[in-house]
Amino acid sequence: MDDKRQRARVQGAWAGPAKSASRPASRTVLPAAVPQRWASEVVNPDRRFVYEEPAEVTRRVPEPRVIEKDGTHDISSSPSGVSRLRLFPRFIDPKEANWMFEQLQHEIPWSQKTNVGLDGPYQEPRLTCWFGEVPYTYSRSTMQPNPHWHPLLTMLKDRIEEVTGHSFNSLLCNLYRHDKDSIDWHSDDEPDLGKNPVIASLSFGETRMFQMRKKPPPEEHGDYTYAERVHVPLDHGSLLLMEGATQEDWQHRVPKEYHDRRPRINLTFRTMFPGGKP
């Protein structure tokens, strides 16, 4: 068990006047099972056991807030600003989404990227493809510029820009081949994305859980045990927008699953400002 929770103990105190101080004990007849040494408490209604919950017990791991409904959801507010999600569960009609998924799966030049971690190089547990005029570096490995947008991707970008009012110049595509493909906790906060980037995330195929956790305050020393959490199931054809301070104040991931999952494609449209945001 977690050390902090193990230390939590039930504690309390006897309230009301002491045995000798108050009125005489009533003549209540005690059930035979009540031991004599408890008698004064049982017969004297002024002496109740008051449960005092220790501070550590009140600190519960919060249940995740599940967001499934269409609309704008402000998930936090801090000196960095409001962290805002906008969910469009049926942004693409399911029938249209079916043929789009097939095209994207077969026509995008997917590959497996090698990142560099503290223990050396490792392959990402998913396939990716980058579109944009500038390179994209994360996890100490760079994706080269690729201006050859597939026409379907250009059409989707235009549709998203029209509906959301935001414009995008780059796209990271992710293909989760099965339940063991995933993306680990991170924020989209690379310097070229500028402050408060808007990320538009469009999903096709199998529903996977998009999980978020709030970055802990300094006194937690990087411990996320009690961090606020948000879960958003991302279905076939759904669009999720992350806006405001979401990347500064939150992390997100798509975890591995323990049951079979069919493939899923996720397109994350962004705007890169290589020389800094104007």
Give residue 79's identity as a one-letter amino acid code. P
Chosen residue from 75, 239, 245, 254 binding ligand AKG by CB under 6 A:
254
Strand-pairing partners, residue 230, are 65, 212
Note whether 265 binds ligand AKG by CB under 6 A.
no
Note whether 44 binds ligand AKG by CB under 6 A.
no
Non-local CB neighbours of 273 within 8 Å, separated by 6+ positions: 192, 193, 194
Residues 120-139 as x/- pattern, contact with ligand AKG by CB under 6 A: --------------------
Q: How far is the CB of 63 from ligand AKG (least distance, A)?
A: 22
Note whether 234 binds ligand AKG by CB under 6 A.
yes
Q: How far is the CB of 94 from ligand AKG (least distance, A)?
A: 18
Q: Which is nearer to ligand AKG, 83 or 201 (CB)?
A: 201
Note whether 174 binds ligand AKG by CB under 6 A.
yes
> Residue 147: how many CB atoms within 10 A of its CB?
8
Residue nearest to ligand AKG (CB): 266
Residues of this chain that bind ligand AKG (CB under 6 A)? 172, 174, 183, 188, 201, 210, 234, 252, 254, 266, 268
